[in-house]
Structure 1
Amino acid sequence: MAQEQQEGLTSAEQEDLTQKTVDTLEIDLSNDLADEHEHEEETPDVDYSALSKEQLAKLLENELATISTEGVKPGALKKAESIVKEIRPVLDQIKSREKEGALAKYIEETGSEDGFEFKYDAETQRIDTLSREIRGIKNSFYQGQEKEKEKNFNVKTALLQRLRVLLEEEGTREQDASGLKSSWEEFKKIQDEWKQAGNIASPHNGTLWATYNALIDRYFSNRNIYFELKELDRRRNAELKAELCEKVEELGKSLDGRPMTREILNEANHIFEEYKHLGPAPKEDQEKLWQRFKEAMDILYNAQRGQFAEQKKSMQDNYEQKLRIYEAIVPFTTYNSGSIKEWNAKTKDIMAFQDQWVALKGMMPREEGKELSKKFWAALKTFFSNKGEFFRQLEAKREINLDQKTKLCEEAEGILATGEDSASNTQKIIDLQKRWKGIGQVPEKYKDSIYDRFKAACDAYFEQKRAKNRETEDEFETNLKRKTDLIERIEAAAKDKDQSSLNLLNAFKSEWSSIGFVPKKDMQTIQKRYISAINTYVGAIGQLSNKEKEQAVLESEVEMVRDGESSRGLYRKESDIRRKITQLENDIALWQNNIEFFAKSKSADRVKAEFERKITNAVNQLNDLKHQLTIIQEAI
């Protein structure tokens, strides 16, 4: 069809027209590529799973406000749609988690899921509504664009048909001045309407432009009488095209002091649109002007390609740096620990890697970068998911600890309520305190309150016990003074050996036994001093043998144990006596065996008599020790 519509064109004009169509498509594709890169730069990688529902709703509200303005760009719509798609799985997880939690609570309360109904909260519904509104605006926008392109296609198709009709009428009607004028006016009107018509679907764009230019050239070729006017118009077009060439050349020169920007390229494309809509120049200038314009445009596009090459290298560098960061956080995905401190330390480390990732601005190769970003944020999500699971388990354990500590509080409060401060109750309170220390932490919000409750119960019990024991403690202090005075009298009496006697010793013992307990902190000291005084006094009694003195001291110690004093000294003495008894029994058995041996000797009477004397002394000593052991055992 295009070939038929280009009848009447020279081969040079057909080649020029074909080149125009190719260059038009090249610039359109460049614009699409630039739009695509612009969209990439405006859509950073974000971990939406880390945002709250309020933050997600606010994000969608901002995007909705942006695309709701007049003259919204496709890039903004694509960005908003991409965010909606990224948020959708995050919202689905939130919905699922909230519904499962509500169902679990309902089953816990009712025992069954029958009759369960669940309605998402206002924030969740708001996110759904905002998502639908964004998709609706996007769909309306593209539907409107498609309708507009279809409308423009129909308009341009009708204009081509009007131009064909005009050419047919031009060839059949009479060539008078009025006919030429009306034909020219119709022709210029068609040109203006064509220029005002917008874009159409790209598959038809080249064909329509080729047909349009072919019909335009045929129109001028068929108007032999109008060659002079056509030539004037071509010269004017040549001047205008030369001006457009200068503008593009100036843009090329401006690149010496600044980098290629999207604004420069948009301005050049706008100039190219003007160039396309200008009619033909004189044939001798047409190709020269086009080559001049094309060379000027090539400078801009070569700069853009060079910039793309630099950008590609920068993108690859960014990719490699981010790949190293991703590889560094991969081990974090399998990290596990039972320590809060260690988890927090690891979190600090992985957040440092995240900061490094975010700090690396710029793009990466599209497909590789998208895959790497997906893996990076997935690794972060896995780490924080594992951390969350640890703290969920920790919180569950803390709830159990809270229940255990609450029961301890109740037990302590129950003991306090009895008003009894018996030894068994005191031991129970002490045991409760030990069990409390063995239980781990509780949820942070109950940490102070549960501790204050338990401490208050224990403190109240011991305060109650202390209040009841204050009189007893005063009595103990009085007893301490009396015992101290008695010891001083015993020590003074021990210095006068003439006055020392068993009767006075027994009186001292009887008086000591009649005095009650002393404070626990002074018990050992006063006891040691009393034993020392008694030993000194017994040693001063002249009419007693050593054996009797030893017996008297032992009886004093036994009496103290019976009166409630510490029995640790008697235990040590019992051990020493048992050791001595064992040694004596072994010696006696050995000596008796030796006597039997010596009995067979002819001159053994003297040796035998010596061993018998040893055995007799050992037996007497053994009987004394056994008597002492009996006294001690009865006491302890």
Structure 2
Amino acid sequence: MAQEQQEGVKSEEQEDLTQKSIDTLEIDLNNELTEEHEEVAPDVDYTQLSKEQLIGILENELAAIREEGAKPALLKKAETVSREIRPVLDQIKLRERETALQAYIADNGGEEGFEYKYDADTQKIDSLSREIKGLKNSYYQSQEKEKEKNFNVKTSLIQRLRSLLEEEGGRETDATGLKSSWEEFKKIQEEWKSAGNIASPHNGTLWATYNALIDRYFSNRNIYFELKELDRRRNAELKSELCEKVEELAKSLENRPMTKEILNEANHIFEDYKHLGPAPKEEQEKLWQRFKEAMDVLYNAQRGQFAEQKKTMQENYEQKLGIYEAIVPFTTYNSGSIKEWNAKTKEIMAFQDQWVALKGIMPREEGKDLSKKFWAALKTFFNNKGEFFRQLESKREQNLDLKTQLCVEVEELLAAGEDNPATTQKVIELQKKWKGIGQVPEKYKDTIYDRFKKACDAYFDKKREKNKEVEEEFEGNLAKKLDLIERIEAAAKSKDESSLNLLNAFKSEWSSIGFVPKKDMQTVQKRYIAAINTYVGAIGQLSNKEKEQAVLESEVELVRDSDNTRTLYRKESDIRRKITQLENDIALWQNNIEFFAKSKTSDRLKAEFDRKINSALGQLEELKHQLTIIQEAI
């Protein structure tokens, strides 16, 4: 029995050393988790965001907390975002209040009586920030309460354990008493294991007290030492199973990458390992070394992955630097075309999509600076684009005023009820002005056009209604002119009846007939000119020159009667061009004759050029006569 007691004491000392090793590993691993597994949050320049965007960010953080529960990492991230947004909001509030104050002073001469209420977006940001802070405070208050509760529970368990030890030492213990005492002891162990964390200042003291009482309990139970050995063997089996689980996790890294989930699972296994009692002394250290080696494989993989992550972070930085350099020229882009601005916007948005698609993180300081420059470059481009469209919108507002005035003018003409060529021409001119004015703001595009079209259509509908009788008269005039043309054509076939007097009679009759429908005007005029030309050609007592003059006079009279002076101006211009060309040719030929005196064939050449000059002079005289006729008509 003495030897068993001595072995028990040695075993307890070995357990104490092993437990200290476990506690030390727990602290080291927790530190590694804190340092190596803290996620690097992407830096955001909140000064570049609008209030609506800030509200969206805070609402997303709250939504994540509500969806996944109040977790420390989410609460910490949300509080960090809220804390970084706070100075930005303070600057916005200060700037808006100062602007309002200056406006109030400008209006009232002083700041007395000035009150300022922040807008709904500002109040919303304040409200969301307070809600995030409240959730964080509530969470940690509940954690503190839970730790306080756990402290009371564990204190109570230690008191129960002390009472159990006192009962063991103050009474005779039989097999039944030993069993019930052992059951109570195991129950205390289970309840201790189930109890959560407590405040750190008390943790070491409670653990030391608890372990000391456990040691005392086992020391006092020498008579029941075999039961303790059985429990240790059971602990050895359980620890061996936990070693196998960790080893399986380590082996799984051959087929899959290291993840946060794998580490979390390993940490849960480690927690179970800590709370198991001691194993037989000959197996205790072996099991611990086996477990530690498997855990080292996991953490070495994590460290290697972190080194690889640094490499990936640098690669991400290089790629994003290339994107930033590609958009720098966009900051100085300028154009007067909407189409070109829109095309350029598509290009820069494609670069933005590439930037956003690169989800990986960058080195903290370099990445923060690069992100700031990238979003600043984007902002510069869109500010320049916004300025272009503001100026364009201002021009469209001016166009809207001009088109509104045109609508008013047409409506006034319609209300006056005047129906004369001058009024009609005025409406047509207003329509031309409308076409010459550029676009108006999009929201007024249809309404202003419908207003103008409605007024113009009403005017011309009214005019068409009044002109029905005129159209009927025009149809009658068409019939008369067609009848006259047929008589002229018949007279041209009977050459004996052709004479200038009858020609003049035809012309007078044509002039006395009024207008014909516009759609038939050109056709009937062409047929009339053709009939007159045929008739003039049939007059035998006229020379060719007289015939050409008669035809020209007829065309001039026809054009003059139709009030189409543009045709006469074109004909005048054509004749002037021919006159100029003939005068130049005559001057050239006359100049060349002076050089023919020295030539052996001068007489023959001179005679030929004299003939050309005389012919050209005849044509020139005829063209000048035609020009005189046209000028008199104009």
Instruction: Indicate the residue corresponding to 2:29 in structure 1.
Output: 27
Moved more, 360-369 or 423-432: 360-369
Letter in 1 for 2:477: N
Q: Percent identity?
A: 51
Moved more, 87-96 or 242-251: 87-96
Instruction: Indicate the residue corresponding to 1:250 in structure 2.
Output: 244
> Quick one: structure 1 residues 448 and 312, their matched pair in 2 at CA, closer, same or farther if it must change by over 3 Å?
farther
Letter in 2 for 1:79: K
Within-5 A mapping of 1:292-371:
292-310=287-305, 312-313=307-308, 316-317=311-312, 320-321=315-316, 323-325=318-320, 327-328=322-323, 330-332=325-327, 334-335=329-330, 336=333, 337-345=335-343, 348=346
Instruction: Indicate the residue corresponding to 1:403 in structure 2.
Output: 401
> Quick one: structure 1 residues 205 and 523, their matched pair in 2 at CA, closer, same or farther if it must change by over 3 Å?
same
Q: Give 1:569 deviation, angstroms.
A: 5.3
Letter in 2 for 1:264: E
Instruction: Indicate the residue corresponding to 2:6 in structure 1.
Output: none
Instruction: Indicate the residue corresponding to 1:36 in structure 2.
Output: 38
> TM-score, normalization: structure 1?
0.68
Letter in 2 for 1:251: K
> Quick one: structure 1 residues 236 and 551, their matched pair in 2 at CA, closer, same or farther if it must change by over 3 Å?
closer
Letter in 2 for 1:470: K
Instruction: Indicate the residue corresponding to 2:200 in structure 1.
Output: 201
- Is the 2:147–2:198 Cα contact (8 Å) retained in structure 1? yes
Q: Give 1:562 deviation, angstroms.
A: 5.4
- Structure 2, unpaired ranges of 5+: 1-9, 174-180, 594-605
Letter in 1 for 2:480: R
> Quick one: structure 1 residues 142 and 384, their matched pair in 2 at CA, closer, same or farther if it must change by over 3 Å?
farther
- Structure 1, unpaired ranges of 5+: 1-7, 171-175, 595-606
Within-5 A mapping of 1:22-171:
22-33=24-35, 36-37=38-39, 59=60, 61-63=62-64, 65-66=66-67, 72-85=70-83, 119-120=117-118, 125-142=123-140, 145=143
Distance 2:570 2:358 in 1: 80
Instruction: Indicate the residue corresponding to 2:599 in structure 1.
Output: none
Distance 1:451 1:102 in 2: 40
Aligned pair partner of 1:513 in 501, 511, 514? 511
- Is the 2:242–2:269 Cα contact (8 Å) retained in structure 1? yes
> Quick one: structure 1 residues 472 and 355, their matched pair in 2 at CA, closer, same or farther if it must change by over 3 Å?
same
Instruction: Indicate the residue corresponding to 2:265 in structure 1.
Output: 264
Instruction: Indicate the residue corresponding to 2:600 in structure 1.
Output: none
Within-5 A mapping of 1:520-559:
520-544=518-542, 552-553=550-551, 555-557=553-555, 559=557
SS in 2 for 1:36: coil
Two-structure CA RMSD over aligned residues (Å): 6.0
Instruction: Indicate the residue corresponding to 1:273 in structure 2.
Output: 274
> Quick one: structure 1 residues 468 and 238, their matched pair in 2 at CA, closer, same or farther if it must change by over 3 Å?
same
Structure 1 position 428 matched with structure 2 position 426: yes
Letter in 2 for 1:406: T
Q: Give 1:489 deviation, angstroms.
A: 1.6
SS in 1 for 2:631: helix
Moved more, 315-324 or 411-420: 315-324
Instruction: Indicate the residue corresponding to 2:633 in structure 1.
Output: 635
Letter in 2 for 1:635: A
SS in 1 for 2:497: coil
- Is the 1:330–1:379 Cα contact (8 Å) retained in structure 2? no
SS in 2 for 1:428: helix
Moved more, 476-485 or 369-378: 369-378
Letter in 2 for 1:324: Q
Distance 1:102 1:423 in 2: 59
Q: Give 1:273 deviation, angstroms.
A: 3.0
> TM-score, normalization: structure 2?
0.68
Instruction: Indicate the residue corresponding to 1:499 in structure 2.
Output: 497
> Quick one: structure 1 residues 78 and 405, their matched pair in 2 at CA, closer, same or farther if it must change by over 3 Å?
same
> Quick one: structure 1 residues 344 and 480, their matched pair in 2 at CA, closer, same or farther if it must change by over 3 Å?
same
> Quick one: structure 1 residues 45 and 209, their matched pair in 2 at CA, closer, same or farther if it must change by over 3 Å?
farther
Distance 2:493 2:629 in 1: 29
Listed one character per residue, the Cα deviations across residues 378-426 of structure 1 (whole Å, up to 9, x for unaligned) are 6666665655555555444433333332222222222322223433433
Letter in 1 for 2:270: N
Within-5 A mapping of 1:579-594:
none
Q: Give 1:136 deviation, angstroms.
A: 1.9
Listed one character per residue, the Cα deviations across residues 510-558 of structure 1 (whole Å, up to 9, x for unaligned) are 2222222334454444444434434443444445566665665555455
- Is the 1:318–1:360 Cα contact (8 Å) retained in structure 2? no
